[in-house]
């Protein structure tokens, strides 16, 4: 990922609760592993020293352990700070798409079937956003077909009503229009029956 792309993002904390939980979990894990490593190294070296070494060797090892522990005291916070930034950036790659999916889903709930989710090149959940876009596109096509059928039905019923009212239509012409109506109703039923509405 290019450095420029990281700083193009306007907000890094899109879904604060999710991202902060992720960051907290990562920091606690790194901290626990760091403490475990420091304790293991110290205890292992002291266990080896107890087997009997000269005071000079013990003094040298003690100095090495002291220097190592001081280094750990500076390195662990630095690793934690770097990890916090890395975790926020990485969690944004998940939280951003989740936020966009939620916003698009709310638009669909309000009846807007024109919304699609567009993710950045390096964002996660691309398969989910593609599936969401496919669902919305499919719904859009079905509703467009429904609208066309309803418009056609309305036009035929208006014509039939008007002609029957003014006696401008023969019985055969009326039957032709009624057959067209039945065909359109059949198409509409076929479209509607594609939906499963009964819960298992």
Q: Where are the domains of the chain?
A: 11-124, 140-193
State the residue for tokens 């418009």. 151
DSSP-derived secondary structure for 3-72: HHHHHH-S-S-SSHHHHHHHHHHHHHHHHHHHHHHHHHHHHHHHHHHTT---HHHHHHHHHHHHHHHHHH
Question: What does pTM read for this prediction?
Answer: 0.61
The whole-angstrom separation of Cα 129 and Cα 123 is 10
Tens of pLDDT, residue by residue, the chain (200 residues): 444 544 455 667 777 788 888 888 888 998 898 889 888 888 888 777 777 777 777 788 788 888 888 888 888 888 888 888 888 888 888 888 888 888 899 988 888 888 888 888 878 888 888 898 998 998 888 888 888 888 888 888 888 878 877 888 887 888 888 888 888 888 888 877 777 666 66
Identify the burial level of 96 via C-beta atoms within 10 angstroms of its C-beta, where 0-12 means exposed, 13-18 middle and 19 or more buried: buried
């Amino acid at each position: 990922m290019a450095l420029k792309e990281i700083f193009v993002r306007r907000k890094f904390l899109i879904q604060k609760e999710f991202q902060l939980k992720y960051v907290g979990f990562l920091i606690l894990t790194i901290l626990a592993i760091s403490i475990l490593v420091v304790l293991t190294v110290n205890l292992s070296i002291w266990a080896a020293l107890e087997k009997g070494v000269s005071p000079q060797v013990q003094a040298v090892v003690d100095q090495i352990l002291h220097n190592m522990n001081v280094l750990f005291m500076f390195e662990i916070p630095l690793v934690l700070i770097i990890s916090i930034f890395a975790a926020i950036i990485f969690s944004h790659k998940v939280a951003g798409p989740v936020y966009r999916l939620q916003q698009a889903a709310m638009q669909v709930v309000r009846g807007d079937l024109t919304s699609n989710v567009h993710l950045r090149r390096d964002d996660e959940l691309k398969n989910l956003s593609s599936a969401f876009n496919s669902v919305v596109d499919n719904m859009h096509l079905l509703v467009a077909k429904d609208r066309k059928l309803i418009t056609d039905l309305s036009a035929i019923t208006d014509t039939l009503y008007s002609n029957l009212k003014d006696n401008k239509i023969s019985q055969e012409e009326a039957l032709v229009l009624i057959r067209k109506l039945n065909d359109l109703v059949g198409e509409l039923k076929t479209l509607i029956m594609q939906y499963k509405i009964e819960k298992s």
